[in-house]
Amino acid sequence: MLADPRLIVALDVPSTGDAEALVATLGDAVSFYKIGYQLAFAGGLDLARRLKDAGKNVFLDMKLLDIDNTMARAVDSVIDLGVDMLTLHAYPKAMRAAVEAASGSGLCLLGVTLLTSMDAADLAEAGYHDDPRALVLRRAEQARQAGMGGIVCSAEEAAMVRPVLSDAMKLVTPGIRPAGAALGDQKRVMAPARALAAGATHLVIGRPISAAADPAAAAREIIAEMRNS
């Protein structure tokens, strides 16, 4: 089965050796990979270049947030890496600075609305007065206004935010769990077919594939579900 570009496999592993072994195991079944903090700080940025050289797509999940100048310079450096997607927290000033820096580059900037491990109690503890849905909706609107390439949100909010996004904007949903998979540290999750039906354009899936006894078979099963949705 050929890869489905809507599936992004999270390389949430401790070393580039582990990541390259997983990529080799998945072979042609997967064409898009996410590199986050764990791997980025263990050689993952060089791996991103190698994956691009091998014809893969790369989603760099760094959730950037800083002053405008630092954001712009960071985006410049990411453009030089040649990756396809980059995340930053969906704060208006940060998004505007990043969008200006990425103009004309082809890099898709994604605004992270709210981590899928957070719920209403977590927001209250952090000092936010909004409930998760209200905060996600406001940040999605701000991402559109800033000219972002898309957003990251829970699949639970996908149907709600899709109407406020432009047609060209990507809607990337982590926290995807096939039937029977453990939730782990995620609190707002959804099955692959339901997430796509709700308006997601890309699904980020990690442990249900990487921790499976047969990762390639797990990826193929998920792709089959996605294509039958």
- Could you list the active site residues? 63
Is there a binding annotation on residue 96?
no
Tell me if 61 is assigned to a ligand binding site: yes
Contacts of 167 (CB under 8 A, 6+ apart): none
186 is in an annotated binding site: yes
At how many degrees (to 10) do helices 45-53 and 68-81 cross?
A: 40
For the CA atoms of 15, 18, 22, 25, the dihedral, rounded to the nearest 10 degrees, stands at 150
* 68 assigned ligand-binding residue: yes
- What is the Cα–Cα distance from 143 to 140, expressed in whole angstroms? 5
Give the rounded distance of the alpha carbon of 144 from its chain centre. Answer: 17
For 139-159, the DSSP string reads HHHHHHHHT-SEEE--HHHHH
25 annotated to bind ligand: no
119 marked among binding-site residues = no
Question: Does residue 64 have a known ligand-binding role?
Answer: yes
Q: Is 113 annotated as a binding residue?
A: no
Q: Which residues are annotated as a binding site?
A: 12, 34, 61-70, 116, 177, 186, 206-207
Known binding-site residues for substrate equal 12, 34, 61-70, 116, 177, 186, 206-207
